[in-house]
Amino acid sequence: MPGDNATFEPVSEWSTYPPVEETIRSDSTLGWLKRISPVVLTHRWRIFWSVIAAVIAMVAQILVPRVVGLAIDRALITGTSSLWLFVAILLVLGVARAAATFGYRYGLYGMAFKVEYQLRTLLFQHLGKLSFAFFDRVQSGQIISRANSDIRSVQMFMAFAPIMAVQFFSFVVAIGLMAAISVPLTTITMIALPGVFAIGQRLRKIMFPLSWVIQSRQAEIATVVDESVNGVRVVKAFAAERHQIESLAIGAQRLRWANLVQHWTRASHTPFIENLPRVALATVLLVGGLQTIDGSLTVGDLVSFNLYILLLQAPFRFIGMLLILGQRAKASAERIYEILDEPPAVDDRHDAVDLIPSGGGISFSDVSFAYGKEAVGGSQGSENAPLVLEHFNLDVSPGETIAIVGRTGSGKSTIARLLMRFYELQGGKISLDGNDIRSVTQASLRSAISLVPDEPFLFSTSVHENISYGKPNASRAEVEAAARAAQAHEFIVELEDGYDTVVGERGYDLSGGQRQRISLARLFLSDPSVIILDDSTSAIDVEIEERIHGSLKELLRKRTTIVIAHRLSTIALADRVVLVNDGQVIADGTHQQLLDTEPRYVETLAASLGENDSW
């Protein structure tokens, strides 16, 4: 079927949460708000009625000073109107403002949290498209920081910026009403604005680089914490807790310095922004008071005017906060865009088709590869990276089981990674059932191949969910059958909750052999055309390994299998042995043939096997 059919799902279970369709604009020359606008505008109707509610709240708020002034002049001084009329008007305005404030705050905060959800989902979707090359060079703490604190900074700006924008709009309307009362007094009030604007511009220019530094240093701390937690066994084994604490303290000190500079900057600028208008207030009280004494201004007008000046304090108080939120959001958004703009080094072609496996025949033709040469952000990576595979050629017949043997660093695991297209080739071609793996969709390719690594990864979920990861709708009977085949059933039922036992972080509360057996159970539960066993029984004792091999022989029958092996017991599973050295095949034959004719094979086995192992 055509590659543009996006319905292929190897896990065979649909998510109840559909992927986010809208994405940011790809033009990196645009401002950060323009780039994110397609995501924000998916909530245009929510934003529309929220803004309408905000305008109603603003109108109700702005009318209050004028009503109070009229009440003083007409009800208290001249007695030409009823005081109760003005009381009723104020009550109506209060209720209207309360209801409208609830409406626009609920709408805008809801919009901000939805944008946060969309950004987080977009980021995670894109991370899933990136190749191993990206994760090889980017620290996990950096990714975690951008997926959490950076997205939260954008969300806070989205929530508060519209509210503050309404405040500034009310400022403009209030100035107009003030001018209707007294133009001279309004002119006095406006004297402070140029100074406030100049200080605000200076604050904005300083805050952006500071915000970027703060977010970067938060990511540094997240990296130290992530590595300390994930590497806790190494840390404790070397009694290096003090070293890790020192690393964290250095990062925390760097973050503290940046935060202090930011708050010092805010503390030195915000008081001027907030208090310059109060100088105008004092002047208005003096001039307006004299005009009231002279009779050119009524008491009600003076009270209304001063109430409007008090209303104008809110925008000036918020301007410093808005500038800080805006610059932090801008810095955070650009850090998020760095990931979203990262082109996948491995991507499906526009004309890619879904692979329909048949026999499982594999061909490596003149394959060359080096880590670090993958395209990164449009570049070609390091040209000086040494080749791991150089003009590598290998053919595996459908249904054949081969063992790949070689010294450490000879490229054995790289062969498996390239076959699954975790990395892109620099030269040559890999075919599966006659199909260039670059011409088929990645999802269909990887669903046809099952990889059992030497260091299995378990999720912090139940044993059942870990085994059924590739087939989430598998029944308990199917999971148990797979566990029995992997010789894991006996130890699983002895766990506290059996198959419902939740394993710890990465499954480290289980032994290495137990983790490998659960990983093998995943393999038995799936139905792949090609199987790759990357030293997958290295942590399992010989007796249990023999029983597993009995199950494996049944599973491997009529399936193409690549066994990356060090143990002779694992090599015995293979029909053919391939000796690899310096990224090339240097010998090929049965185990016995290579023992008899290839001294380099004997040397490789001797290096990988212990002195007590026998051939």
Q: How far apart are CA 326 and CA 207, in angstroms?
A: 9
Copy the structure tokens of residue 34.
Answer: 């323009």
Place of tokens 């070609």: 380
Question: 462: which DSSP letter?
Answer: B
**What is the b/e burial string over 439-460, where b = at least 16 CB atoms within 10 angstroms of the residue's CB?**
ebbbbbbbbbbbbbbbebebee
Q: How many CB atoms lie within 10 A of CB 429?
A: 13
* Nearest in space to 540 (alpha carbons), one of 606, 451, 454: 454
Q: How far apart are CA 4 and CA 253, in angstroms?
A: 50
Copy the structure tokens of residue 407.
Answer: 């010294």
Mean pLDDT of successive 10-residue stretches along the chain, which has 615 residues: 47 55 82 89 89 87 84 80 86 92 90 89 86 82 82 87 77 79 79 72 74 77 74 65 79 83 79 73 79 80 77 67 79 88 86 84 91 53 72 90 86 89 90 90 87 81 87 88 86 88 79 83 83 71 65 73 79 85 88 87 75 41
Q: How far apart are CA 509 and CA 502, in angstroms?
A: 10
pLDDT at 437: 92
Q: How far apart are CA 514 and CA 502, in angstroms?
A: 14
| Rounded alpha-carbon distances, angstroms, from residue 156 to 143, 212, 299, 600 | 20, 16, 42, 64
Contact, 1 vs 440, CB < 8 A?
Answer: no
Please report the domains of the chain, with CATH numbers, ordered by start residue: 32-340 (1.20.1560.10), 458-527 (3.40.50.300)
Residue 189: burial class (beta carbons within 10 Å; 0-12, 13-18, 19+): buried
Copy the structure tokens of residue 566.
Answer: 């060090």
